[in-house]
Amino acid sequence: MSLQAAQFFAELCLPFHDCTTVGNTYFAAPNPSAPLRLRIDFAETIHADTYGGLRVAVVHPDRGEIDAVVLSFLDHQTFHRRDEATDRRPNTKGYATFDKYHLPGRPPWEGAVTTGLRDALEKYTAVWFPGAWAARRQGPVIENTVRTAPGAPVAGAARGR
């Protein structure tokens, strides 16, 4: 069964415009004018077809892999809520991992909270690709205002007695 990798990487909301997912691997050129590339794969565990994190690598076209790190789902609490809700405990099969088996129409990583992974990816890529995330953050500022219809009560206003 498919790991639906493209959807997983899309959920991470990575800011790289020059990117693609091939099979279960994400490739990106965070700085298109530089030779270094980013490769992200699912990190396997000792159990067949079971994944315990992301393997992130910096690759040079001539020198090959320059650096790599595994960002574990356990360390970044990716499946903490899911495991707590299903009463999965540490050191049991399936804890802080996912495998390729899943219900049709649902991703195998259902229940993942990717915020911690995304933050770790940002920190790691900042070392090798400085400024790659800054362009994403410099989007338009959205004003946070609440508008009410004329004559509508204002939220939090004192009610007449």
In the chain, the number of structural domains is 1
On whether residue 158 sits in a domain, the answer given is no
This prediction has a pTM of 0.80
On whether residue 160 sits in a domain, the answer given is no
Please, is 141 exposed, middle or buried when counting C-beta atoms within 10 Å of its C-beta (0-12, 13-18, 19+)? exposed
Name the DSSP letter for residue 131: T
Percent of the chain with pLDDT over 90: 66
On whether residue 11 sits in a domain, the answer given is yes
Q: Looking at per-residue confidence, does 135 or 103 come out higher?
A: 103
On whether residue 148 sits in a domain, the answer given is no
Name the DSSP letter for residue 112: -
On whether residue 122 sits in a domain, the answer given is yes
Question: Which range of residues forms the domain containing residue 126?
Answer: 5-137
Q: Which of 7, 53, 36 is nearest to 132 (CA)?
A: 36
